[in-house]
């Protein structure tokens, strides 16, 4: 593996710092886990299979950054990533999602990633083919004199001068197509229609979900592909035809093999709300038995097992699992011991302070203030937040969290929405183009005054 392509733990933390405020302990642990993947792939082959990932259990209240850390980590690693909620799963034999579905979701994500990469590799060739197809519709080619179209039917005798003129015209149009000069011109193309919504199958019986999907796909492939004519612009035609031509140039068997390998070696599964399937030591009953059943179903997946997917069989031994939960009612020790042992790294995330809120509003690349500025700029209106106003917004969000319910950084979204909704409604009719809005501390106090006065009402508003 190319060492230069993989970030060091310190570089990973620096990248995460661009989007996530605080939580340094969690960042360090996920950075080490990610780098360990590269390290494992560079160990002697006989020991590679023995090195298992150190799965991580994040403990912290809602809105402190657990999901964001996992999601950003997957983007940094260019790895397949899927997020699931443990509370959505049910024990085998009950109605609900089975735990293996999260692995199938991961493989689906991996296939999409590999397909996107392969499309990029064949884009140049596909573009040439599509441009020629559009050119043939606009200026059909002529056959020069003496050339025969088929054995049965001789070609029309076209003087060579006409054929040369045709080719020169085609060359001019070829350049226009490449330069986008004809993008608005409407043409008629043949488009493949997707097979129907699926062939109904009655009584699956003992067939599992994967077998049903494979059978469905096989039957759809057997159905004749229909085509219909559509009148679209050249730009639209290029998009439609690029999809079709790229698909023809990509070897799907190669995509499946690569995707399975990528998911198995670099996949990340984030299991949220794992505390919801922990059996509280203070309670007992059928619900707790069911929760324990879900944990026992999760165990073999996290330990390492083989799962059938419609793209092939995947081994879960080296998938990185990151579990997270608030653990307000239950505690990590309420999980079954075997599952606890599969999450050796424990990270407690800090509750966010008012200063954290201020930094979240101002510093990250995707800061909420920057998002709203972009929304207003779409209407040619500029909006400016001074530090005093951001400090007041942070103070209000922190106070509402303290006195009503702590939902972490998500509170900032509701406070900002309350603050700016009137402006967003007045643009562009009342607040015209090129307007400049300055958000001050006094304005924030005025707009958000009612939030703290009437807590009952605030609970419904926020």
pLDDT tens sequence for the chain (462 residues): 444 467 899 999 999 999 999 899 999 999 999 999 889 989 998 898 889 899 999 999 888 989 899 889 888 888 899 999 888 886 554 545 688 999 999 999 999 999 999 998 998 999 889 888 888 888 888 765 444 444 444 444 556 677 788 888 888 888 888 888 888 888 888 887 765 544 555 444 445 555 556 666 666 666 666 778 888 888 888 888 888 888 889 999 999 999 999 999 999 999 998 998 887 655 555 556 677 888 998 999 999 999 999 999 999 999 999 999 988 888 899 899 999 999 999 999 999 999 999 999 999 988 999 999 999 999 999 999 999 999 999 999 999 888 888 888 999 999 999 999 999 999 888 888 889 999 999 999 998 887 766 555 545 555
| Range list for CATH 3.40.50.300 in the chain | 3-110+259-348
Gap between the Cα atoms of 370 and 41, Å rounded: 39
Predicted confidence at residue 145, as pLDDT, reads: 44
| Range list for CATH 1.10.8.60 in the chain | 354-457
For the record, the structure tokens of 123 come out as 């884009």
Q: Residues 6 or more apart from 172 whose CB is under 8 A from it?
A: none
* Inter-residue contact 400 to 419 (CB < 8 Å): no
For the record, the structure tokens of 458 come out as 């605030």
Gap between the Cα atoms of 370 and 416, Å rounded: 12
Count of CB atoms situated within 10 Å of the CB of 227: 10
Which CATH fold would you assign to the domain 354-457?
Answer: Helicase, Ruva Protein; domain 3 (1.10.8)
Alpha helix segments (H runs only) across 194-285 = 209-222, 234-249, 252-266
Cα–Cα nearest to 301, from 311, 288, 314: 314
Gap between the Cα atoms of 127 and 112, Å rounded: 20
Domain 3-110+259-348 has CATH 1.10.10.10: no
Predicted confidence at residue 385, as pLDDT, reads: 94
């Amino acid at each position: 593996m190319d060492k230069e392509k993989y970030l060091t733990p310190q570089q990973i933390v620096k990248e995460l710092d661009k989007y996530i405020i605080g939580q340094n302990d969690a960042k360090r642990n996920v950075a080490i886990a990610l780098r360990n993947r590269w390290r494992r792939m560079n160990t002697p082959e006989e020991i590679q299979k023995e090195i298992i990932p150190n799965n991580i259990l994040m403990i912290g209240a809602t809105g402190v950054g657990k999901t964001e850390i996992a999601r950003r980590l997957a983007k940094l690693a260019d790895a397949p990533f899927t997020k699931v909620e443990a509370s959505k799963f049910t024990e085998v034999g009950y109605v609900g999602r089975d735990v293996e579905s999260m692995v199938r979701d991961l493989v689906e994500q991996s296939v999409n990633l590999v397909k996107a990469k392969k499309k990029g590799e064949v884009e140049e060739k596909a573009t040439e083919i599509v441009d020629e197809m559009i050119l043939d519709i606009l200026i059909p080619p002529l056959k020069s004199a003496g050339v025969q179209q088929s054995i049965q039917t001789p070609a029309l005798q076209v003087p060579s001068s006409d054929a040369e003129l045709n080719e020169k015209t085609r060359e001019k149009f070829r350049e226009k197509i490449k330069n986008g000069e004809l993008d608005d011109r409407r043409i008629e193309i043949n488009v493949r229609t997707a097979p129907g919504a699926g062939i109904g199958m009655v009584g699956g019986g003992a067939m599992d979900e994967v077998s049903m999907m494979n059978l469905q796909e096989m039957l759809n492939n057997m159905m004749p592909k229909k085509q219909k004519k559509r009148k679209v612009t050249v730009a639209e035609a290029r998009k439609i035809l690029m999809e079709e031509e790229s698909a023809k140039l990509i070897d799907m068997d190669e995509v499946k093999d690569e995707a399975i390998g990528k998911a198995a070696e670099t996949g990340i599964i984030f299991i949220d709300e794992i505390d919801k399937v922990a059996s509280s030591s203070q309670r007992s009953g059928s619900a707790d038995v069911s929760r324990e059943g879900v944990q026992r179903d999760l165990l073999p997946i996290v330990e390492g097992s083989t799962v059938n997917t419609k793209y092939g069989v995947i081994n879960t031994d080296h998938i990185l699992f990151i579990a997270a939960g608030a653990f307000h009612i239950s505690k990590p020790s309420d999980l079954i011991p075997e599952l606890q042992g599969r999450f050796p790294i424990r990270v407690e995330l800090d509750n966010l302070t008012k200063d954290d809120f201020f930094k979240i509003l101002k510093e990250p690349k995707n800061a909420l203030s920057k998002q709203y500025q972009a929304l207003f700029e779409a209407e040619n209106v500029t909006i400016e937040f001074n530090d005093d106003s951001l400090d007041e917004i942070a103070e209000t969000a922190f106070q509402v969290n303290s006195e009503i319910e702590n939902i972490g950084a998500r509170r900032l979204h509701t406070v900002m929405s309350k603050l700016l909704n009137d402006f967003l409604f007045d643009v562009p009719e009342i607040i015209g183009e090129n307007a400049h809005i300055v958000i001050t501390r006094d304005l924030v106090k005025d707009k958000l005054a009612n939030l703290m006065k009437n807590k009952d009402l605030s609970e419904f508003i926020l």
